[in-house]
Structure 1
Amino acid sequence: MKRKLVVLTGAGISAESGLKTFRDADGLWEGYDVMEVATPEAWNRNPELVQRFYNERRKQVLQAKPNEAHLALAALQNDFDVEIITQNIDDLHERAGSEKVTHLHGVITYAQSSKNADLIYPIDGEEIKMDEVCELGSPLRPHVVWFGEAVPMMEVAAKICRKADVFVLIGSSLAVYPAAGLVHYVSNQIPKFIIDPKIPDLDGLNHLTKIQKNATEGVRDLIKYLKI
């Protein structure tokens, strides 16, 4: 039986594919104040602006390609039972070939009902148009968890973390909760690795190896540590 390798990824892994996060620029995301485009209040106030913003982000995601780190994690499925938990809203892990991916914050290539978040639809093309509605007749919005909304996949992710035989954190500052709390569901007895140019404070975690590099370089080192 393969050991279960659980990988929690953040914005740092997608940054190397050219996708930026709002944390790169003090609360601005591609020149937008995130409170104006990434909250339920923003949607209620100006849905056209929010829709346009995410349509632009979706185009960027579709143009981006999985990088070496995404591809290497997919290749690790040959030796481990790999489960990826990602804070990212892109689909680069899936396009790289990873089969078990849990998205904490939704997936930008899907739309959801603005009335019932359980009604989720794949997007045909790059845009959600303002006249597109769900089966209940309410407008479609991006399938993205906004600030102030619950994170519905947290319980699923916590269960995955509890079962880890090896745990890896890549490209996350652990600044966004509740996702940052997932490390506390991992057994203290298993090996843990963190890959990031700026290692967040993880004092108190046992059996921790710090790899202070970007995602693509760091995953190369990880594979050496795992002795594959």
Structure 2
Amino acid sequence: MTQFPLSRRSALQLASAALVPALSSPAEAGSGSIRALAFDGFTIFDVRAVAAAVVSRFPEKGAALATAWMNKLFALSWLETSAGRYSGFEAVADAALAFSAASLHLSVTEAERRDLVTVFAQLPLWPDARPVLETMRRAGLRLAFLSNLSAPMLQAAMRANHLDDLMEPPLSTDRVHAFKPSPRAYAMGPDAFGLPREAIGFVAFGGWDALGATWFGYRTAWINRLGVPAEPLPPAPALTAPDLSAALRLAGI
């Protein structure tokens, strides 16, 4: 296979895009009955910081490592879900990073792997995140994360970005020991909010996540920040946009 050199910027974009095996085309949807919104963590936290940390630590092979790591991370999480197993995000992320480094013949110590996995708990906000969350809270909507990230990671990132006053306690897949797109993961929303799924909007970063949430029965906004292609399987999400405007429209704001 022919390989092409990448600029640092292109490498980061490709590494980040590995986090988003995409979905669907935009479609308007009525949303007057939405009373709560469940967010994938990466719709609010800027996951590009993970790829940037990898490239900073390993300048020569960082882009390739970041891409391979994200692909293997999702592959392992889906494998565990399909097999009815659950190791938790940190363990899967560490295993995926070790495998990816070995596949690239790159020496990465246990301490280096730990530091890179920890970046997931230190992600900054996307620029539009706080204004949108504040607008939603003023409108009376209930908000919470519903994420494959571990509970400690979500809590740390929420504290660091001062989101505790805007969002309810996070719904980590640690609660049900099943990564998304397991229906058990999406079912945390109705259980935690005490609302039927029809009254809950789901805000997805990855196309696969938007598809899984839509299959579960949520009205879903896909925040396609990286402009990746749509998933080939139906149905489409209710709304698609490159920013959180789709979530506002889903909520009728």
Give the alignment's TM-score, normalised by structure 1: 0.50
1:85 shift after superposition: 0.7
| 8 Å Cα contact 1:83/1:100 also seen in 2 | yes
Long gaps (5+) in structure 2: 1-32, 55-61, 74-91, 100-107, 191-195
Judged with a 3 Å threshold, the aligned counterparts in structure 2 of structure 1 residues 207 and 61 are, in CA distance, closer, same or farther, namely: closer
Long gaps (5+) in structure 1: 107-117, 119-149
Moved more, 202-211 or 163-172: 202-211
Judged with a 3 Å threshold, the aligned counterparts in structure 2 of structure 1 residues 60 and 158 are, in CA distance, closer, same or farther, namely: closer
Distance in 2, matches of 1:69 and 1:39, equals: 33
1:158 and 2:187 aligned: yes
| 8 Å Cα contact 2:220/2:250 also seen in 1 | no
Distance in 2, matches of 1:224 and 1:29, equals: 33
Q: 1:184 aligns with which of 199, 215, 218?
A: 215
1:87 and 2:148 aligned: yes
Judged with a 3 Å threshold, the aligned counterparts in structure 2 of structure 1 residues 93 and 170 are, in CA distance, closer, same or farther, namely: farther
| 8 Å Cα contact 2:40/2:203 also seen in 1 | yes
* SS state at 1:20 partner: helix
Partner of 2:84: none
1:193 and 2:218 aligned: no
Higher-RCO chain (CA-CA 8 Å, sequence separation at least 6): 2
* SS state at 1:169 partner: strand
Judged with a 3 Å threshold, the aligned counterparts in structure 2 of structure 1 residues 70 and 183 are, in CA distance, closer, same or farther, namely: same
Partner of 1:102: 171
Distance in 1, matches of 2:44 and 2:213, equals: 18
Q: 1:173 aligns with which of 207, 210, 224?
A: 207
1:172 shift after superposition: 1.1
* SS state at 1:100 partner: coil
- Percent of paired sites with the same residue: 7
Distance in 1, matches of 2:115 and 2:171, equals: 22
Whichever residue aligns with residue 145 of structure 2, its letter is I
| 8 Å Cα contact 1:86/1:102 also seen in 2 | yes
1:84-143 deviation per Cα after TM superposition (whole angstroms, max 9, x unaligned): 212345433453232232123x6xxxxxxxxxxx9xxxxxxxxxxxxxxxxxxxxxxxxx
Give the alignment's TM-score, normalised by structure 2: 0.46
| 8 Å Cα contact 1:4/1:83 also seen in 2 | no
Judged with a 3 Å threshold, the aligned counterparts in structure 2 of structure 1 residues 163 and 51 are, in CA distance, closer, same or farther, namely: farther
| 8 Å Cα contact 1:9/1:85 also seen in 2 | yes
Whichever residue aligns with residue 151 of structure 1, its letter is A
1:19 and 2:75 aligned: no
Whichever residue aligns with residue 228 of structure 2, its letter is K
Q: Identify, as 1 or 2, the structure richer in helix.
A: 2
Distance in 1, matches of 2:233 and 2:199, equals: 20
Q: 1:29 aligns with which of 48, 66, 73?
A: 66
Distance in 2, matches of 1:37 and 1:49, equals: 14
1:226 and 2:251 aligned: yes
* SS state at 1:29 partner: helix
Whichever residue aligns with residue 178 of structure 2, its letter is V
Distance in 2, matches of 1:169 and 1:202, equals: 19
* SS state at 2:214 partner: helix
Distance in 1, matches of 2:246 and 2:211, equals: 24
Distance in 2, matches of 1:31 and 1:203, equals: 24
